[in-house]
Amino acid sequence: MATPHALTHARGQLHTDRLAGSARGRRFGPLRTSLLVGATAALTLTVLPGTATAVPGDATTADQAAARVADAEHRLEVVAEQLNEARVLLAGHQDAARAAEEAADEAQRRLDALDGQIRQLARSAYTGSATSHFDVLLTSNSAQDLVSQMGTLDAIAGYTNEVLAEVSVVAEGAEQSRESADRAAAEAQEQVDEIADQQKELEGQIAEFQRQYDALSAPQQAVVAQAHGGGEALPAPSGVVASSAAAQKAVDTALAQVGDPYVWGAGGPNAFDCSGLTSYAYAAAGVSLPHSSKSQAGMGQAVPANALQPGDLLFFYSPTSHVAMYIGNGQMVHASTSSQPVKVASFNAMKGDFTHARRIAG
- The span from the CA of 357 to the CA of 347, in Å, is 12
- Of 48, 56, 52, 47, the closest CA to residue 223 belongs to 56
Contact at 8 Å (CB) between 323 and 314? yes
Would you please indicate which residues are annotated as catalytic (active-site) residues? Answer: 274, 322, 334
Between the CA of residue 77 and those of 73, 153, 265, 330, what are the distances in Å?
A: 6, 74, 10, 24
Opening angle at CA 322, ends 318 and 325, nearest 5:
125
E strand or H helix that includes residue 322: strand 322-328
Half-sphere exposure of 356 (CA within 13 A, CB side): 15
Task: For residue 75, count other CB atoms closer than 10 A to its CB.
Answer: 20
- Alpha carbon distance 90, 203 (integer Å): 19
Q: Are 273 and 265 in contact (CB under 8 A)?
A: yes
Question: Could you give the CA distance from residue 27 to residue 186 in angstroms, rounded to a whole number?
Answer: 10
User: Is residue 121 within 8 Å of residue 7, measured between CB atoms?
Assistant: yes
